Amino acid sequence: MTDFFETRVPGKLAEVQSALDARLKARKFGTLHVHDVRAMLEAKGVSFDTPLVIMDICNPGYAKRVLETTRNRIAPLLPCSIALWQDGTEVVVRLVRPSVLARFFPGTAELESIAAEVEAGVLAAIAELGQAPDKPADA
C-alpha cells in the first residue's frame, strides 16, 4: 500500500466535489473549507490552468480522540485534506492516507486504530463515487 490514495471519477469537478461532500457528511465528516487553488493563484497574478480544489475535512469525534492521544502534537497535521482536480473528462481524487500520519507517532496503537477508522470512512465515501478504494497511487 502506498502513502497516497488516488482514483479517477468520471464527471465535472464541481459535481464530484458536491457528491463527495454529501457522502462524507453521511459519515459525520464535515468540510471545513474548500481551497480553490486556481482562483487563489490567479488572484495573486499567477496563471494556473487546472481546475483544482483542496477540501479540508474533519470528523470532530475523531479529531478530539487524536488530539488527546497525541497531547495535541498531531495538530499541525489536521484537518485531513483531499485534493480534486479536473483531468479531461475525469476528476482525480487524491489524499495522503490517514494511516500514514500515525507513523509520526510510533508506538501509539490507539492512534493507529483511529487513523485506520478515519481512512476506512473516507475511502468508503470515495468508493461511493463509483471507484474501489484500493487502487494504488504513485507516491
List, for residues 62-74, the tens digit of each pLDDT value.
999 999 999 999 9
* pTM, 2 dp: 0.91
For the chain, the residue count is 139
Residue 108 pLDDT class (50, 70, 90 cuts): confident
- Asked whether residue 94 carries a pLDDT value surpassing 50, the answer given is yes
Q: For the domain with range 4-127, which CATH number is right: 2.40.280.10, 3.30.310.70, 3.30.750.24, 1.20.1440.80?
A: 3.30.310.70
pLDDT in tens, 15-39: 999 999 999 999 999 999 999 999 9
93 against 102, higher pLDDT: 93
CA distance 117 to 66: 12
Cα three-residue angle 121-82-1, rounded to 5 degrees: 65
Percent of the chain residues past pLDDT 70, beyond the cut = 94
**What kind and span of H or E run contains 7?**
strand 4-10
CA distance 82 to 53: 8
Q: Hey, where are the domains in the chain?
A: 4-127
Question: What's the rounded Cα separation, in Å, for the pair 118 and 66?
Answer: 11
